[in-house]
Structure 1
Amino acid sequence: MNSHLGIDTGTTTQHHDPGNQLGEEYENTPVPPHARKGFPSIAAVWFGFPMNLGNAVFGGVIVFNLGLINGLIALLLGNLVLFGYVGALSYIAGETGRSFSLQAATTFGTRGRMIVTGFLSTVVIGWFSFQIGLTGTTMRDALGWAPIVGAAIAAVAFTALTTVGIRALSLLGMIATPLFVVLGAVALVYGATGNGLTADDVVHYQGSGTALTFGAAVGIVIAGFADSGTMTADFTRWSKTGKSAVAATFTAFPVSNFVAYAMGGLVVAVGGSTDPGANGGGFLGLLTGHSTALTIIAVVFVFANLGSVGTHCLYNGAVGWSGITNRTMRPVAIVLGVFGGAIALTGVWSYFLDWLNILGIFVPPIGAVLITDQLILRRRSAPSPRLRTSAFVAWIAGAAVATASHYFVRESVDALVGIVIAVAVFWVYEKVSAGASAVTASRSSDVVSA
């Protein structure tokens, strides 16, 4: 038991409260073996998260700038990087049952983890607000609703679902994913109708944008899940084993995430987007105006799809802040839900997107340090200091070099740069420190012997 924080970073189980009808979430202790869930449940949590309208928009923008073939290659490469990165962090979570906050305590220190966890848990609330705002504007564009109406409904519904816990995330994934695939296919048919394009025309679509380089496109894919991907342990700690956690991650990266981006790219390639440079492959507008039934289904789809993203982000934030405050997840989720909803209703959310994507530069080095510490150096159960200097030095170095790369090396994949630098700096720092400690211990021993 950590006396400073009042949390258990070992394997002690947390007793189930019979009065808690929604079930224990194990915010401040590792998930015990008896509470772990099967592969289908965890896979549903992860594959339902990336398959969303926002990713379709970005997929369309990427294909508009790079063309279909080069765009799809960029999407695949970005997803493979995410699989390696998120998969490694998920393996640690499945093996230990620890949330991201507990993982961070081991690597960044019992006090240092508050900085890392607080940073990421706040970032994901920004994404939660974005999904609420996006729901409002999507309903306005599709049905003429006042944006504040759709946003208010979304804020209440997404927060309520999050308080149900991990089970709600799994259920939403099972609903949102098939809806996305089916309605995306319908939208493609409507988008291609009357354009006179052949299959060959679509395959050889070259695009006409110039804003993105290939490296920047790969970076967008990585940045889109840099934050929740780094906090994957909040989901995959429920897996029965590390291998099962990795398998669940694979259903999201590359499978689900690639499909979502590629669907948007295809909408642009078939001529289904009126303004692909700005709206990318967003396809909701292609589904409305045909029949009342399809319009109703499209509305349900919006709330299920964006709700899946919003609840995942709020769950990440709530579990993270629960770890910091040593509180349970549900009341924290309500407080954060009110806060995020208030931000969305002010309209400030519309300014978040560029800032949040820039965080793809600053977030991946955090995960890189965790992976190096707990997989390469295998320090998963060593006593944690209050603050591990080497971890913060590596994080800062990775973020700094990635930032420089972003501004001065146009073709670079910033997230990869940050990951490589953070791993190198942390590994060298730890090895040099270990060597220095060994020398000091040897000299002390010699003095005592003399």
Structure 2
Amino acid sequence: MSDNQESYRTASLTQLEAEADHILGEEYEHSPVPAQARRSLFSVTMVWIGFPMIITGAMTGSILVLGMGFADALKAMIIGNLIMFCYVGLLGLLGTQKGMNFALLASIVFGRKGYMLASGLLSTLLLGWYAVQTGITGALISSTYDLNYVAMTVIAGLLYVGITFVGVRGLHWIGVVSVPLFVILGLWVAADAASTTSWSAIMAYPGNNGVATMSMGVGLTVVLALFIDAGTVTADFNRWAADRKSSLISTFSAFPFANLVAMLVGGVMTAALAVPNANPFGVDNMFGYMNGKQMAWLSLLAFIFLYCNLGSVCAHCLYNAATGWSRILGSNMRLMAIVLGAIGILVAAGNIWAFFIEWLSLLGILVPPIGAIILIDQYVTRKNSVTTVDWRAPAFIAWAAGSAVALLVEFKAPHWSTAISAFVVAAIAYFILSKVMREA
């Protein structure tokens, strides 16, 4: 390709990006969101509430109840979601105050170049979860309705890329559709399953086959790990909030409210039915429950619900990934959504997404220290600081310390909470290092 052809292609692409931004709205990948572009409380709440109120959350609630028994699982759900509210809420306030996405915020804490490691890790993890959730969509649809897996997965992936391409408005509208569907169908599933037994029996449910195998520490880690990646990049969403009150209310709509509702739907259903050796990621979930009624209209509704519901979490994950990588590569969020979405679709359609779940979960232990360091830096040691250097050594040393402890807990003390241990150690290490090193 000649230099003239390359220049023409670049100019044409830039013009298309500018036209998309003009029609759909600027996404502010490289600068703070100005006050006049901030969105309403309802809009930001719809963006947040539609993220965790998903069938995957219900599956997680089932896993907790199977492993801990209903009473202990309920405690883990409540405590874990309150911790998430504090964690995500404080990080979200920073995004609202500065108008910055996570990558811009991380550049203050990790450095002009150092932020790329933190933002790149989180953006890649979230792209991985986009692929996994897209694969789950195709797998559930294919196995339930005997439809072609690849076709259903590709359709799902393209739909989710389309939602993400619209930008924050797309996340708003998928929330408007997805949330009412989940509330109505989820509460019906939980109530219908509960009607087969008593609430006292549900509360007394001891766990899978009468055996509780999961400690409270592990239960808390499961609750936290479900959204710790996206929760850490909360500035991507909360930068759109008009003020602190709106930021906190929208965060509360997700944690504890939406996430807890989703987990309880799965938990109540699992405890009520008490299916031996239940498989929440197979047929023993609310989607399988609805199709198990063998009513044509309910099965059709379940089909629509699954695409819309998992479309919400997939679009959010892809939006975070595209926002992060667009900043790192100096690109446009919408262009990156197409590129990264295509990669995720290939992973999902190739049916290799299941192999990534264990690795994504393991890499997830690297995430809590990032949030801890940002919180200590911006609320305690360097309030109102700005980006001054390329690399900030205290941040990376503390990150390494928190992650090292997380690995030790993961393999040597699995009954403790990996996420909480990593967070606490990184926070303490960063506070001490900031005082000792006293660098900018």
Deviation of the 1:186 alpha carbon = 2.5
Could you tell me how far apart the structure 2 residues matched to 1:118 and 1:334 are? 17
In structure 1, what is the Cα distance between the partners aligned to 2:187 and 2:231? 27
Secondary structure at 2:424 match in 1: helix
Of 74, 81, 84, the match for 1:82 = 84
Aligned-pair CA distance for 1:204: 1.4
Deviation for aligned residue 1:209:
4.1
The residue correspondences of 1:161-200 to structure 2 (distance < 5 A) are: 161-192=163-194, 195=196, 197-200=197-200
Unmatched segments (≥5 aa) in structure 2 = 1-17
SS at match of 1:391: helix
SS at match of 2:318: helix
Using the alignment, how far apart are the partners of 2:206 and 2:62 within structure 1?
A: 12
Residue 291 of structure 1 aligns with which residue? 295
Distance in 1, matches of 2:100 and 2:387, equals 15
> Which of 223, 226, 246 in structure 1 is aligned with 2:225?
223
Q: 1:25 offset after TM fit, Å?
A: 0.5
Preserved CA contact (<8 Å) 1:162 1:314: yes
Q: Does 1:342 align with 2:346?
A: yes
Match of 1:36 in 2: 38
Deviation at 1:264, TM superposition (A): 0.5
CA RMSD of aligned residues (A): 1.9
- Counterpart of 2:181, as a letter, is L
1:428 and 1:109 map into 2 onto residues whose CA distance is: 19
TM-aligned CA deviation for residue 393 of structure 1: 0.4
Partners in 1 of 2:21 and 2:243 — Cα distance?
A: 29
Task: Measure how far apart 1:147 and its partner are.
Answer: 1.7
Q: Write the distance in 2 (CA, Å) between the matches of 1:347 and 1:260.
A: 26
On the 8 A contact 2:217/2:417 being kept in 1, the answer is yes
| Residue type at the aligned position of 1:248 | S
1:224–1:357: 8 Å Cα contact kept in structure 2? Answer: no
- Contact 1:58/1:264 (<8 A) preserved: yes
- Take 1:303 and 1:221, find their aligned partners in 2: how far apart are those partners? 24
| Pairing 1:254–2:256 present | yes
1:371 aligned to 370, 375, 400, which one? Answer: 375
Q: Deviation of residue 19 (structure 1)?
A: 6.9
| d(CA) in 2 for partners of 1:360, 1:209 | 28
Counterpart contact for 1:220–1:357, Cα < 8 Å? no
Distance 1:87 1:19 in 2: 29
> What is the alpha-carbon distance in structure 1 between the residues aligned to residue 21 and residue 386 of structure 2?
35
**Structure 2 matches for 1:49-448, cutoff 5 A?**
49-192=51-194, 195=196, 197-207=197-207, 208-271=210-273, 273=275, 275-276=277-278, 279=281, 282-288=285-291, 289-434=293-438
Rounded to whole Å, the distance in 1 between the matches of 2:187 and 2:249 is: 26
Which letter does structure 2 place at the counterpart of 1:364?
A: P
Q: Deviations for 1:376-418, whole angstroms, at most 9, x for unmatched residues? A: 1243333421000100001110010111112222321111111
Verify the 8 A CA contact 2:100 2:235 in the aligned structure 1. Answer: yes
Identity of aligned residues (%): 37
- Relative distance call for 1:326 and 1:396 in structure 2 (3 A) is same
Distance in 2 of aligned mates of 1:401 and 1:200: 40
Structure 1 equivalent of residue 11 of structure 2: none
Q: In structure 2, what is the Cα distance between the partners aligned to 1:18 and 1:56?
A: 36
Confirm or deny: 8 A CA contact 2:365 2:418 kept in the other structure: yes
- CA apart distance, 1:45: 0.6
Partner of 2:15: none
1:115 maps to amino acid: L
CA deviations 1:225-251 (Å, max 9, x no partner) are 111110111111101123321221111
Distance 1:46 1:341 in 2: 24
TM-score normalised by length of structure 2: 0.91
State the Cα deviation string for residues 126-168 of structure 1 (Å, max 9, x = none).
0000111000111023212122121111011000110000011
For residues 291 and 272 of structure 1, the distance between their equivalents in structure 2, rounded to whole angstroms, comes to 23
- Which residue of the partner structure matches residue 48 of structure 1? 50
Q: Any idea what SS the aligned residue of 1:135 has?
A: helix
Contact 2:108–2:388 under 8 Å retained in 1: yes
Secondary structure of 2:390's partner?
coil
Structure 2 distance, partners of 1:272, 1:42, is 38
Residue pair 1:94, 1:244 contacting (<8 A) in 2 also: no
Distance 1:389 1:158 in 2: 38
Could you say which structure has the larger radius of gyration? 1
Listed one character per residue, the Cα deviations across residues 63-110 of structure 1 (whole Å, up to 9, x for unaligned) are: 112111111101111111111111110010000000000001000000
Cα distance in 1 for partners of 2:123, 2:347 equals: 16
Q: Which blocks of at least 5 consecutive residues in structure 1 are unaligned? A: 1-15, 439-450
Counterparts in 2 of 1:43 and 1:378: CA distance versus 1, 3 Å: farther
Q: Aligned equivalents of 1:218 and 1:227: distance in 2? A: 15
- Which string of whole-angstrom CA distances, capped at 9 and with x for unpartnered residues, describes residues 320-357 of structure 1? 00110111111111000001100111111112222222
Contact 2:61 2:264 in 1 (8 A): yes
